[in-house]
Amino acid sequence: MVLALCMAGAWIIARWLGVDFKVAMLMALILAYLPLALMLALVRRHLRGQVAALPPDERAWLADLEPEIRFSQPAPGLPSPVVTVSVGVVCVNVLIIPWMVGPLAFLHYGLGVRAPAASVAALLLGFVLAWAWWSAGVTVWRRWATRRRGMPADEVQWRGEQASLLWPANHVLARTELGHLLSARKQP
């Protein structure tokens, strides 16, 4: 339903502004995302209030079942977890894009080379550089979040997964995190 409305809106925006349909579709999707994200934030805020009003034993029981309930109330005296996660997203995920696209852009625009084999090699190099950045970046972010921001390790893991910063704890690709590789190397 939302996608159909976005497509109709994109068609209208494209005609009205005289832009390409794909650009208008991107604009329509962003415009549709904003009220949906706001509505979700308001629903979560309302639910946090309802959970806070529950008796302590029921809250503890629900917290054991669901991490979102366990971590819905920030610990008093600690910095905001939203800021902590936002720093991770900006410093790790956003900066992955230049690492991924940079070698290809340098090859095409800096050196003027457009050979398919060289482009594939530049894309592979970009992927390796981006993965290395992610591996080191999430290790630094995880340590900063636990040591400097005081967030418990299980909350860092949960919030990192929710923000697409971290792989799930038992995932095979979680082992490529630099901190995991270094700790595995230290063990005999």
d(CA 148, CA 87): 13
pTM (two decimals): 0.73
Q: Given a cut of 90, is residue 71 above it in pLDDT? A: no
CA angle, 160 as apex, 158 and 163 as ends, to 5°?
Answer: 110
36, 2 contact by CB (below 8 A): yes
Residue with the larger pLDDT of the pair 69 and 87: 87
Pick from 131, 122, 128, 132: which is nearest to 102 by CA? 122
Which tens digits make up the pLDDT trace of 81-133? 889 999 999 999 999 999 999 999 999 999 999 999 999 999 999 999 999 99
Q: Is the pLDDT of residue 73 over 80?
A: no
pLDDT at residue 2 tops 80: no
Going by the DSSP 8-state scheme, the letter that residue 188 receives in this structure is -
Distance in angstroms (rounded) separating the CA atoms of residues 187 and 183: 7
Q: Please state the domain extents for the chain.
A: 1-73, 79-188
